[in-house]
Amino acid sequence: MDIRQLNYFVTVADKKNYSLAAKELYVTQPTLSLAIQKLEKEFETVLFKQSNRQLILTESGRVLYESGKELLKNYNKVVEKMNDFHNSNQTVLKVGLTVLFAIQYMDEISNFIATQPKVELRLIQHGSKKLQHMVANDELDIGLLSFPQYENSIIMEKIEKKKGSYKAAVVLPKNHHLSDRSSLSIADFKNEKLSSLSKSYVLGNEIYIKCREYGFDPNIVFTDDNWTVLVKSVLTFNSMVLLPAEFEEIGKFSDVKWIPLEEDIEYFIGVAHRKDKEISEMAELFIESILK
């Protein structure tokens, strides 16, 4: 007899029905029936009898049930204690990053996870502006975020490497009246329908700032935090959306066109942490793995 068989037996006894026990255990009825038969053969006894469409424990079945239930309880306690012991030896590192950075730095992140088995890395994805706020509120240990900096209580250190920045591009339907242009200016957004990331994202915030620099408010007809949804929205609304140009290579959409901005807007990436909080050793190791 093993723990799995004992658990099957106790569950059947509790449910008084093979069908209900099978649903509880996510196994088939024949699997349960075979497990009970093996127990009966091993102990040379009958464990259940049928009564009014229910399974009733025999005298020997009652003995196994009462002792077995206590054994399962103690077994589960041991498993729980061992899991707690394992978790207590792990350092939790909470890192905030955007979808783009999660994709761009996946190799570095994977290498960190592989080489640091005692670290439980929790990745929280959101927009850079929102994540800056979370770092400032001590909800994150560090953030892999884009400039500009909005929070005064954090420090953002620029990443000096190939993937240390991204540029914004305009995405619009191929049949849009501006789709034949080789480049577009923010000034071209005037009187056009626009889709946009929310203000939790840098680009979702910057589109208002940039448009107002040209003397108008953007006509936002759709907002979402999922960039693939936003790309699809331009087809629905015949709108335009400002997104990182790097997404063009990640997602292939045949009915849209990606056009560079004449303003050549570039946003640099940095690692953020609170000014008044010392960076942990594991956070330092994570930053080193990103900067390699």
Domain 3-85: CATH architecture, name and number where available: Orthogonal Bundle (1.10)
Token representation of residue 137: 């509120």
**Right CATH number for 88-163+268-291 from 1.10.1060.10, 3.40.190.10, 3.30.420.10, 3.20.10.10?**
3.40.190.10
Chain centre distance of CA 268: 23
Stretch 168-186: mean pLDDT: 95
Alpha helices in the chain (DSSP H): 3-15, 18-25, 29-43, 59-88, 99-104, 106-115, 128-136, 202-213, 227-237, 247-250, 281-291
Token representation of residue 205: 């915030």
**Right CATH number for 166-266 from 3.40.190.290, 3.40.50.720, 1.10.287.3510, 3.30.360.10?**
3.40.190.290
pLDDT of the residue at 79: 79
Could you check whether 88-163+268-291 and 166-266 share the same CATH topology?
A: yes
Stretch 139-158: mean pLDDT: 92
Rounded-to-integer distance, Cα 180 and Cα 182, Å: 7
pLDDT in tens, 203-260: 999 999 999 999 999 999 999 988 989 999 999 999 999 999 988 887 778 899 999 9
